[in-house]
Amino acid sequence: MRPLISERSSLLKRRLLAAVSALQTVEGVNQDKIGAIGFCFGGLCALDLARHRIGLKAAVSFHGTLTAIPELELDHIDTSIQVHHGDADPHIKAESVAEFMQEMRTRKADWSFISYGNAQHGFTEPRRIWKRSAATLTEKCCFNQCPLTEIHKMCCPETRPKG
- Domain locations in the chain as residue ranges: 35-145
- Measured distance CA(156)–CA(133) in Å, rounded: 11
By mean pLDDT, which of 4-13, 78-87, 141-150 is the weakest? Answer: 141-150
What tens digit of pLDDT does each residue of 31-43 get? 999 999 999 999 9
Structure confidence at residue 4 (pLDDT): 87
Please give the DSSP secondary-structure letter assigned to residue 76.
Answer: P
- 64 close to 40: Cβ distance less than 8 angstroms: yes
SS3 135: helix
Structure confidence at residue 122 (pLDDT): 87
What tens digit of pLDDT does each residue of 71-104 get? 889 999 999 999 999 999 999 999 999 999 999 9
Structure confidence at residue 80 (pLDDT): 98
Distances (CA, A) of 163 to 91, 160: 41, 9
Picking from 59, 43, 35, 39, the residue whose alpha carbon sits closest to that of residue 110 is 59
What tens digit of pLDDT does each residue of 46-63 get? 999 999 999 999 999 999
Band of residue 138 on the pLDDT scale cut at 50, 70, 90: low
Topology (CATH) of 35-145:
Rossmann fold (3.40.50)
